[in-house]
Amino acid sequence: MALGRKDAKIPEDSPTELLLEKHVEFIKKYGEDPDDYEYAMSDFLRMNGLYWGCSAMHLMGHIDKMDKSSVIQFLKDCQVENGGFRPVQGHDPHLLNTLSAVQIAVIFDCLDEIDEEGVVKYVKSLQTEEGSFMGDQWGEVDNRFTFCAVACLSLLGRLSELEVDKAADFVKSCLNFDGGFGSRPGAESHAGLIYTCVGTLAVTGHLHYVDADRLGWWLAERQLDSGGLNGRPEKLPDVCYSWWVLASLKILNRIHWIDKEKLKTFMLACQDNETGGFADRPGNM
Amino acid sequence: MGDEDYRSSSEEPNGEMTDWVFYRDRPEWRDVTPVPQDDGANPVVRIAYSERFTDVYDYFRGVMRTGEKSARVLQLTEDALEQNPANYTVWYYRREVLKALDSDLKKEMKYCRDMIEDHPKNYQVWQHRRALIEWTQDPTAELRFTEMILSGDQKNYHAWQHRQWVLATFNLWDKELAYIDDLIEVDIRNNSAWNQRFFVISHSEGWTPEVVDREVNFALDKIKKVVKNESSWNYLKGVLNACDNEEKKGELKLKIRSWCEEKYSQGEESSYMLSFIIDVLQQDLEGIKSTEEKTKVLDRIESLCVRLATHCDTIRANYWNFIKDSAKLRHGGGG
């Protein structure tokens, strides 16, 4: 019995055009509903969410709809003495939020409003002996943090403050038998983590550690018949992988290995034509 | 009357408990000054937490300020985590309290287990478990525990990560291959299981010629059952790459190749299988001197790539065209 590959179905009445205005509205409205339970429960993601929102608004040409001075105040309020950034009040600083904060500052061209030296000091302090990075002082190590660290300091023009070769060597140690990368040595290859690893190697000038043809093929294999991309073999497609996979392929100069038209069809079908925004796959909210 | 007694089993979807008594109304908590969250008037992050959420966290901030580490604070952190299991500050403080109280970690393991069952994709609950095992140095429950979580979701990345950490830290390799065998029996396309297999062997037996032989045959056996399976082919290639004995490698490649050619002649066109054939043909080209021979092989590579691009794997047509073109470029000498 040869089972077909897991995949999503695109419903008949799915959107086929890009509903840009609706997405602008969606982001503008986000967080304005006082009864939104999920919004409150995801407060640990607030800085990240703000970055995604600002980034999307900027791409759509509507960054002016974001309240720049409030954003800057929020950034300032979230940076703590050790230089790191909280996601929002009530949580401790973490590398994930620190990258998002710096990215937001770059988008608004207001790096001078945050304590850059503090950021450099904080990020440096999180690098381990073996070259990897902890997410915060409590020690979790993961390639998401490797990328956050190098991307953050690269944006500040201070990459040389880190042990860059060691960081690249740690990523190299996470290279798997299938050409992909995971969160730590031995962890399963995963498109999101491949992005963090390929990104790290690109930023640190170590892309030669990657077998681009092999990894490119692994990434191209994420595309299913529906046109959508998954994150690992035999998983359902999810629109977020459009970013992780495509960005990785772009870095490797092989983005054309994904069927663009089929991916477009899938992504457009993920839109919610009432509220704006994208669901993870067609038919979901 | 302890704080547990204020908990009711009936819960509203927004987390409001009908029998909940706010901390601010509990007489035995009057000695603690609650500390409200300071968002300022910032509209960018206006968050309307529920009343219960606010109450619990105001008191949590209160005890963090005084540094109290007592049994009642342990319960408070539990309430805070029920409201928001992703608040890593609370988890950190809970661990500080556990240390200060020299708590019974068995009880804590049970709590951690419950939290993981409720939030299996949350990073903090798994970090907490790892922290506990680092303290107790007792991994005896871990394999069964991760197995249980994986039985609900075969591919839970956190569970696999935790399992790998336990195996490597405590050297518990011996039964793992049997477990992986079972997983692959149940789902031959379970990529996590295939990945685990490579991990285990790399850390235990190593890739000796005997092991390579055994594992290539294992993979081939699974391929024969389901040819169109990315995981088994990736594993097969990975094992061959890990083999540093050229004779054994050559012998196995030949065996796989003749199986592939036979299946091809019977009409099998799995892209992974054809890709393997193309790979060995490219390797053949390295050793061929005669232009005539080279052309024959290149033509074959070309026809396989065209077949893939136009019939078997059209969504990746650009990739197969690249393979065709780069083979010509490398070996064609002018085509």
- A74 in contact with B, Cβ within 8 Å: yes
B117, two tokens: 């069952």
The pLDDT of residue A38 is above 80: no
Residue A91 DSSP symbol: S
Per residue in A194-253, pLDDT (tens digit) is: 999 999 999 999 999 999 999 999 999 999 999 999 999 999 999 999 999 999 999 999
* Inter-residue contact B316 to A259 (CB < 8 Å): yes
Torsion of CA B255, B258, B261, B266, to 10 degrees: -100
Distance CA B163, CA B178 (A): 15
> CA-CA distances (angstroms) from residue B275 to A255, B229, B264, B302, B309?
20, 13, 12, 12, 12
B36 Rama sector, left if φ>0, alpha if ψ -120 to 50, beta otherwise? beta
| Exposure class string for A242-274: b at 16+ Cβ within 10 A, else e | bebbbbbbebbebbbbbbeebbebbbbbbbbee
pLDDT value of residue B64: 92
Best to test chain A binding among B129, B196, B226, B315 (most A CBs inside 10 Å)? B315
The pLDDT of residue A39 is above 70: no
Question: How close, in Å, is residue B288 to chain A by CA atoms?
Answer: 23
Residue A161 DSSP symbol: G
> CA-CA distances (angstroms) from residue A88 to A28, A113, A148?
19, 17, 18
Distance CA B335, CA A217 (A): 25
Partners of A67 on chain B (C-beta within 8 Å) are 43-44
B15, two tokens: 């987390």
Partners of B191 on chain A (C-beta within 8 Å) are 188, 232-234
- Crossing angle of helices B142-152 and B157-170, rounded to 10°: 160
Distance CA A133, CA A142 (A): 7
* Inter-residue contact A73 to A20 (CB < 8 Å): no
Does the distance separating the beta carbons of B191 and A233 come in below 8 Å? yes
Partners of A37 on chain B (C-beta within 8 Å) are 13-15, 50
Partners of B45 on chain A (C-beta within 8 Å) are 31, 46, 50, 74, 88
Partners of B233 on chain A (C-beta within 8 Å) are none
- Residue in B with minimal Cα distance to A43: B47
Query: What is the ipTM, given to two decimal places?
Result: 0.92
Question: How close, in Å, is residue B195 to chain A by CA atoms?
Answer: 6
* Inter-residue contact A153 to A159 (CB < 8 Å): yes
Best to test chain B binding among A36, A177, A190 (most B CBs inside 10 Å)? A177
- B101 in contact with A, Cβ within 8 Å: no
> CA-CA distances (angstroms) from residue B43 to A38, A73, A108, B58, B96?
17, 10, 17, 21, 34
Radius of gyration of chain A (CA): 19
Q: What are phi and psi of A189, to 5 degrees?
A: -60, 135
Among B207, B205, B141, which Cα is nearest to B170's? Answer: B141
Which residues on adjacent β-strands are paired with residue A109?
Answer: none
Q: Residues 279..318 of B with a Cβ closer than 8 Å to A: which?
A: 315-318
* Inter-residue contact A216 to A250 (CB < 8 Å): no
| Exposure class string for B91-128: b at 16+ Cβ within 10 A, else e | bbbbbebbeeeeeeeeebbebbbebbeebbebbbbbbb
| Exposure class string for B221-251: b at 16+ Cβ within 10 A, else e | ebbeeebbbbbbbbbbbbbbebbeeeebbee
* Inter-residue contact A234 to B190 (CB < 8 Å): yes
pLDDT value of residue B7: 47
Best to test chain A binding among B16, B35, B37, B45 (most A CBs inside 10 Å)? B45
A127 Rama sector, left if φ>0, alpha if ψ -120 to 50, beta otherwise? beta
Q: What share of chain A has pLDDT > 90, as a percent?
A: 77
Does the distance separating the beta carbons of A186 and B164 come in below 8 Å? yes
Q: What are phi and psi of A175, to 5 degrees?
A: -70, 125
Which residues on adjacent β-strands are paired with residue A133?
Answer: A127
* Enclosing H/E stretch for A20: helix A20-29
A215 Rama sector, left if φ>0, alpha if ψ -120 to 50, beta otherwise? alpha
Do you know the residue count of chain B? 335
Distance CA B66, CA B33 (A): 9
Q: Residues 213..272 of B with a Cβ closer than 8 Å to A: which?
A: 226-228, 230-231, 234-235, 237-239, 241-242
Q: What is the end-to-end Cα distance of chain B in Å, rounded?
A: 87
Partners of A92 on chain B (C-beta within 8 Å) are 88-89, 92
Greatest mean pLDDT range, A22-26, A29-33, B300-304? B300-304
Which residue type occupies A181? F
Task: Provide DSSP, A206-219.
Answer: -GGGS-HHHHHHHH
Distance CA A283, CA A278 (A): 10
pLDDT value of residue A37: 62
Per residue in A128-152, pLDDT (tens digit) is: 999 999 999 888 899 999 999 999 9
Chain A / chain B CB contacts < 8 angstroms: 151
* Inter-residue contact B32 to B62 (CB < 8 Å): yes
Question: How close, in Å, is residue B289 to chain A by CA atoms?
Answer: 26
- B9 in contact with A, Cβ within 8 Å: no
- Residue in B with minimal Cα distance to A29: B44
Does the distance separating the beta carbons of B48 and A36 come in below 8 Å? yes
Distance CA A201, CA A209 (A): 8
Residue in A178, A220, A259 closest to B234 by CB: A178
> CA-CA distances (angstroms) from residue A30 to A25, A40, A74?
8, 12, 16
Radius of gyration of chain B (CA): 29
Question: How close, in Å, is residue B165 to chain A by CA atoms?
Answer: 10
Does the distance separating the beta carbons of A257 and B316 come in below 8 Å? yes
- Residue in A with minimal Cα distance to B202: A186
Best to test chain B binding among A234, A244, A249, A255 (most B CBs inside 10 Å)? A234
User: pLDDT tens per residue, chain B (335 residues)?
Assistant: 444 445 444 455 555 556 789 999 999 999 999 998 766 556 566 666 788 888 999 999 999 999 999 999 999 999 999 988 988 889 999 999 999 999 999 999 999 999 999 999 999 999 999 999 999 999 999 999 999 999 999 999 999 999 999 999 999 999 999 999 999 999 999 999 999 999 999 999 999 999 999 999 999 999 999 999 999 999 999 999 999 999 999 999 999 999 999 999 999 999 999 999 999 999 999 889 999 999 999 999 999 999 999 999 999 999 999 999 999 998 875 44
HEC string of B17-65?
ECCCCCHHHCHHHCCCCCCCCCCCCCHHHCCCCCHHHHHHHHHHHHHHH
* 3-state secondary structure at position A234: coil
HEC string of B176-195?
HHHHHHHHHHHCCCCHHHHH
Does the distance separating the beta carbons of A177 and B318 come in below 8 Å? no
pLDDT value of residue B2: 45
Which residues on adjacent β-strands are paired with residue A271?
Answer: A278
Catalytic residues of B: 121
* Enclosing H/E stretch for A264: helix A260-269
Q: Residues 60..79 of B with a Cβ closer than 8 Å to A: which?
A: 61
Distance CA B192, CA B196 (A): 6
pLDDT value of residue B276: 97
pLDDT value of residue B5: 46
Partners of B57 on chain A (C-beta within 8 Å) are 90
